[in-house]
Amino acid sequence: EADIYQTPRYLVIGTGKKITLECSQTMGHDKMYWYQQDPGMELHLIHYSYGVNSTEKGDLSSESTVSRIRTEHFPLTLESARPSHTSQYLCASSESSSGRKTYNEQFFGPGTRLTVL
């Protein structure tokens, strides 16, 4: 069982609200990721981070923003939620690849199911 946590697990909010999805990991991993997943569809990378003070946008354009002030914490923020943001958001982390560690295995959190009315 991976030590990566997400809160809240479920969130239902109205349009226009500001929300923050929390993600924390206790494995000391440098790399962290946010994915968006709609039912029956593949995961899409929306943000990633190589380490503290590093944030990059992923393949799928997203109106959300992220921050990485501490190694263990990688929150995602939506300034003004809209119904189009309704989705499942998955956080993941991995060690930096070095030497024999070439798998870059990502460990996933349980996800946050966001519904914007």
Partner 1 sequence: KNQVEQSPQSLIILEGKNCTLQCNYTVSPFSNLRWYKQDTGRGPVSLTIMTFSENTKSNGRYTATLDADTKQSSLHITASQLSDSASYICVVFDRGSTLGRLYFGRGTQLTVWP
Q: Supply the minimum distance, in Å, between the C-beta of residue 62 and partner 1.
A: 16
> What count of other Cβ atoms lies within 10 Å of the Cβ of residue 22?
15
Q: Tokens 């609200």 label which residue?
A: 17
Q: Is the dihedral of CA 74, 72, 29, 114 positive or negative?
A: negative
- Identify which of residues 17 and 58 has a Cβ nearer to partner 1 in the complex: 58
Helix and strand numbers (H, E) in the chain are: 0, 11
> What count of other Cβ atoms lies within 10 Å of the Cβ of residue 110?
13
- Figure out which of the listed residues 42, 53, 61, 84 binds partner 1, where binding follows CB under 8 A: 42
Q: Supply the minimum distance, in Å, between the C-beta of residue 28 and partner 1.
A: 18
- Figure out which of the listed residues 76, 109, 114, 116 binds partner 1, where binding follows CB under 8 A: 109
Residues of this chain that interact with partner 1 (CB under 8 A) are: 2, 4, 6, 31, 40-43, 45, 48, 50, 56, 88, 90-92, 97, 102-111, 113
